[in-house]
Amino acid sequence: MKKKAWIIAAAIAAVCMAAVLFIVLRPAPGSGYTLLVDGEALPVAVLSPEKRELRIHLTLDGQEIADLPFGEPHTVLLRQENGDENLLRITEGSVFMENANCEGQDCVHMEKVTRDNLETRVMFGMIICLPHRFSVEVRSGE
């Protein structure tokens, strides 16, 4: 029981640290980006506003840029004006960062988020690329 509590406390601390770093490292307003879903530019901030059991929330610089359904296969490319790129892969059963051009590659090495490990994974449903200020969170629809 103590090990589980320690893991939860570490995950909460990591999420809090990520939030602080997002605020501190946030670029000037007006920074541009392109979000491609299956090779097509996303015309609006929210792709699928309908409610579903699980949703994938994409956040850049603390602002939600897309809300996608979990379980529908998609390839998502985030390309920022400054050259930062992240390639996110969504399959029928998982979400994972396939590639990123950041130095540490921590986001690429994070465990896949699945329906089965959502509550037990160290970062729960989150994948975070701190250098690019980009986060992915799988959570229940609101």
Tokens representing 48? 């699928």
- CA distances (Å), origin 13, targets 20, 88, 114, 122, 130: 11, 24, 22, 11, 15
Model pLDDT for residues 33-49, shown as the tens digit of each residue: 888 888 777 654 444 45
DSSP state of 60: E
Instruction: State how many domains the chain has.
Output: 1
Q: Which structural domain, as residue segments, surrounds residue 56?
A: 2-140
pLDDT of residue 39: 79
pTM, entire model: 0.72
What's 44's domain CATH number? 2.60.320.10
Q: What is the DSSP string of 55-104?
A: EEEEEETTEEEEEEETTS-EEEEEEETTS-EEEEEE-SSEEEEEEE-SSS
Model pLDDT for residues 58-105, shown as the tens digit of each residue: 999 999 999 999 999 999 999 999 999 999 999 999 999 999 999 999
